[in-house]
């Protein structure tokens, strides 16, 4: 039995507490996971309401911008590659490589 002074101080180490069983832990975990899934799905639903489908004109405009940008970057990298290739060939030629 716990002494009166221990009980007054809140020290109830001598009193055994019943620990929750494995079944209750599984139930709590499943309910927590279910709540998380419900919250996630409601967030997805709220975000999907914000999605706007572009019209045909917007799709054509962005597609043309992407195609032009790809060609510009392709040309830029072709020029850069050519410059580095010629510079490397010149360096190797000066060092005696064929």
pLDDT in tens, 73-97: 999 999 999 999 999 999 999 998 7
Residues of the chain under the 50 pLDDT cut: 1
Tell whether 30 is covered by a domain: yes
75, 46: one domain: no
pLDDT of 21: 66
- Residue 8 CA to residue 30 CA, distance in Å, equals 38
* Domain-embedded: residue 35: yes
- Integer distance in angstroms from the first to the last C-alpha of the chain? 97
Q: Give me the number of domains the chain comprises.
A: 2
pLDDT for the residue numbered 36? 86
Residue span of the structural domain in which 80 resides: 55-98
The residue to which tokens 């706007």 are assigned: 52
Residue 97 lies in a domain: yes
| Domain identity same for 44 and 63 | no
pLDDT of 3: 57
């Amino acid at each position: 039995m716990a002494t009166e002074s221990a009980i007054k101080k809140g020290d109830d180490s001598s009193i055994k507490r019943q620990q929750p069983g494995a079944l209750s832990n599984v139930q709590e975990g499943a309910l927590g996971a279910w709540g998380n899934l419900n919250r996630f799905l409601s967030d997805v639903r709220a975000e999907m309401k914000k999605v706007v489908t572009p019209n045909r004109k917007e799709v054509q405009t962005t597609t043309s911008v992407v195609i032009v940008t790809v060609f510009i970057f392709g040309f830029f990298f072709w020029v850069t590659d050519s410059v580095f290739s010629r510079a490397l060939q010149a360096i190797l030629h000066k060092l005696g490589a064929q």
